Structure 1
Amino acid sequence: MNTVVTVTPNPALDQTVRVANLALGEVNLAASLEFNAGGKGVNVAGCLADYGIATIATGLLGSDDAAAFDAMFADKHILDRFVRIAGRPRINVKLVDTARHETTDINLATSLPSAADVEALEQRVVELAAPGRWFVLAGSLPPGVDVSFYRRLTRSLHRAGACVALDTSGAPLADVLAASAAGDMPDLVKPNRAELEAALGRSLADDDALIEAACELVKRGIQYVVVSLGERGALGVTSKQAQAQTRTQTQAPTQERASAYEGWRAAPLRVPVASTVGAGDALVAGLVASLAEGHPWDAVGRRATAFAAGKLARVGPHLPDRATLDALAAQVELSTFSVAAHPLRVTQHQAV
């Protein structure tokens, strides 16, 4: 089984409070309080480990009050390679309204890493690099860390032959997507619509605009582009050439020339919701796990959607067992399409 490394520069201790019909400005009676190790990369690591993928977690973690992280890594058999820094992890308060199925996030400030801390993390990541190994670079950057951090890591990892999945937003995402060198571009990105619009500086009002933007990124060197659409599911695009590497049979040359890209559109599964926090991180875990296992592109979309659905029923970075995930994946409604390069033209296929 391939080992996956997650990198979380800005982890958080998630404090989840569950209350029915949250009333702002009034006294509310909470039904439960739960603490979980969090941050995008940590959430991805937890889901990968539950799925059975050997997982290494690294990043910058405050030494004070890190017991929840230590317990999670020990319980899920995640190899802890975090760089410990002075201070405590930031605290994120999640107010889950169980009646309205809504979650309100209150994110607090984090400990400030030193330049030496950041340098130590970059060195740690390089030490963990191996040909073909997937790295997940995820989440926000702590104050004081240059926005080019993820782009520099991606360049170093590619030089070592590793594969890079990026899940971030704002200035760090815009910095990566503006890169001119192919080696600075990740192998997989997973923004949501608003994050992609902000990074590209234009509106993406419908699926055609999203597909066009995704194809542009694939053409520039990102092999896999997935846009999460919340309650509308997700959309994924890759190149025919990239997908051919995972197939056991060679596709006919005429068909390769006719369509440069192929994609899928996955509808979300309707499942009981305990918390929406981390559903996007579970989607990333499903994408990386499926790619690491060499699944066809449509199967990648199906299983990643199952990961997200499985996470919704749980508070914290946890998934159900493989049998449950297999059953969820079988229920996913997924349609495929292909895109011709000149001119850019989408051909819809039947649901699979």
Structure 2
Amino acid sequence: MSAQAVTITLNPAIDQTVRLARLQPGHVHRAFSARDDAGGKGINVAACLADWGVRSTALGVLGDGNDGVFRTLFSARGIADGCLRVPGRTRTNIKLVEEGSGETTDINLAGLPLSDADLDAVSTQLAALLSPGLPVVLSGGLPPGLPADTWARLQMQAGAAGARVLLDTSGEALVAALNGMHGALPYAVKPNRHELEAWTGTTLPDLGALQAVGLDLIERGIALVVISVGTDGALFIDRSGALVARPARLAQGSSVGAGDAMVAGIAAALLEPAFSLASCARLATAFSMSRLESGDARRLDPAQVREWTGDVLIQPLD
């Protein structure tokens, strides 16, 4: 059975969450608990889509020395495992969570170095899955060894086949992709305020400034721009207009994966027969809220999403 969506994660991670009373640098700590979860932005997107009932294939590269947690996730969620295995171990991202305050300290390790041959292998697997209209999510940073135009190369390949690329990255990789290297732009992009400021080289202090940059991206040829603005929600822009979507209430819990859930919601909205900017904004926001509320379970509750979709606050912009 063919995939309804494809995600690509070139720098995945095992998220190790360690809970302790209070972090005191220079001191010895006794942890209350620790758990390992398969992570990486595209992996998170695939998991959310699977919870929603979308058949997803996860492409990318994993180290063959510790891929068990990923195999477990793929099997449990019904995600097609298209990830290449290379010698070594997938990196671990350590999250030190203080009980009570919930304050989190992240320690992110370097990813497995990859080569052009590894990227070519991923590209070959992608080619076998592409079809017109297929959402292809290119998500996360790039590992050592791959050039900044990596996502731009893959979005060119997918776009040429008529697939709809959703890009969620930052830094030089975002610059290369938004500047249309290799002659292609993504179908949709989901930067946050800081990532857009880094791309433009200017401060974007309010919704008006963010909207202006979003409209410029639309004029360049991107069909959908979604800009995360934290607790203020997200700005959604396409050729039909612009709006701000805000949750009816702030969800509780760790923010890990909330942005990835929003990307999954955008991909799910693109699969709906009657797409509209407002319906996309509602669904993507409800995806993010449900993922936040699930805490360590890292799940999406479809019934909860359906209930909350109607509660999302929509503010049209001029």
- TM-score interval (norm. to shorter): over 0.9
Counterparts of residues 77-96 of structure 1 (less than 5 Å): 77-96=78-97
Alignment partners' CA distance in 2, 1:109 and 1:166: 22
- What residue in structure 1 maps to residue 128 of structure 2? 127
- What residue in structure 1 maps to residue 298 of structure 2? 318
SS at match of 2:96: strand
- The Cα shift of 1:289 comes to 0.7
- What residue in structure 2 maps to residue 305 of structure 1? 285
SS at match of 1:185: coil
- What residue in structure 1 maps to residue 73 of structure 2? 72
SS at match of 1:331: coil
- What residue in structure 2 maps to residue 341 of structure 1? none
Q: 1:9-46 CA distances to partner (integer Å, 9 max, x unpaired)? A: 11101101123443333344433211110000000001
SS at match of 1:336: strand
Off by >4 Å, runs of 4+ in structure 1: none
Q: Is the contact between residue 271 and residue 313 of structure 1 (CA under 8 Å) also seen in structure 2?
A: no
- The Cα shift of 1:271 comes to 4.7
- The Cα shift of 1:113 comes to 1.8
Q: Is the contact between residue 36 and residue 316 of structure 1 (CA under 8 Å) also seen in structure 2?
A: no
Counterpart pick for 1:288 among 251, 263, 267: 267
Alignment partners' CA distance in 1, 2:266 and 2:171: 22
Distance 1:151 1:39, change over 3 A: same
Q: Which has the larger radius of gyration?
A: 1
Greater CA drift, 222-231 or 26-35 = 26-35
SS at match of 1:205: coil
Amino acid paired to 1:118: L
Alignment partners' CA distance in 2, 1:68 and 1:223: 36
- What residue in structure 2 maps to residue 344 of structure 1? none
Q: 1:120-146 CA distances to partner (integer Å, 9 max, x unpaired)? A: 111111221111101000001111101
- What residue in structure 2 maps to residue 193 of structure 1? 193
Q: Is the contact between residue 266 and residue 334 of structure 1 (CA under 8 Å) also seen in structure 2?
A: yes
Alignment partners' CA distance in 2, 1:146 and 1:135: 20
Alignment partners' CA distance in 2, 1:114 and 1:331: 46
SS at match of 1:128: coil
Amino acid paired to 1:222: I
Aligned residues: 316
- The Cα shift of 1:83 comes to 1.3
Distance 1:80 1:323, change over 3 A: same
Q: Is the contact between residue 101 and residue 273 of structure 1 (CA under 8 Å) also seen in structure 2?
A: no
Q: 1:43-73 CA distances to partner (integer Å, 9 max, x unpaired)? A: 0001110111111000111111110000000
Counterpart pick for 2:242 among 247, 263, 268: 263
- The Cα shift of 1:177 comes to 1.3
- The Cα shift of 1:89 comes to 0.5
Alignment partners' CA distance in 2, 1:17 and 1:295: 41
- What residue in structure 1 maps to residue 53 of structure 2? 52
Give the superposed CA RMSD: 1.8
Q: Is the contact between residue 56 and residue 79 of structure 2 (CA under 8 Å) also seen in structure 1?
A: yes
Distance 1:335 1:307, change over 3 A: same
TM-score scaled by structure 2? 0.94
Q: Is the contact between residue 9 and residue 142 of structure 1 (CA under 8 Å) also seen in structure 2?
A: yes
Q: 1:152-189 CA distances to partner (integer Å, 9 max, x unpaired)? A: 111111111111000000000011112267x5110110
- The Cα shift of 1:329 comes to 1.6
- The Cα shift of 1:92 comes to 0.4
- What residue in structure 2 maps to residue 332 of structure 1? 312
Unaligned regions of 5+ residues in structure 1, if any? 241-261, 338-346, 348-352
Q: Is the contact between residue 278 and residue 317 of structure 1 (CA under 8 Å) also seen in structure 2?
A: no
Amino acid paired to 2:59: T
Distance 1:55 1:37, change over 3 A: same
Fraction of identical pairs, as percent: 42
Counterparts of residues 80-119 of structure 1 (less than 5 Å): 80-119=81-120
SS at match of 2:162: coil
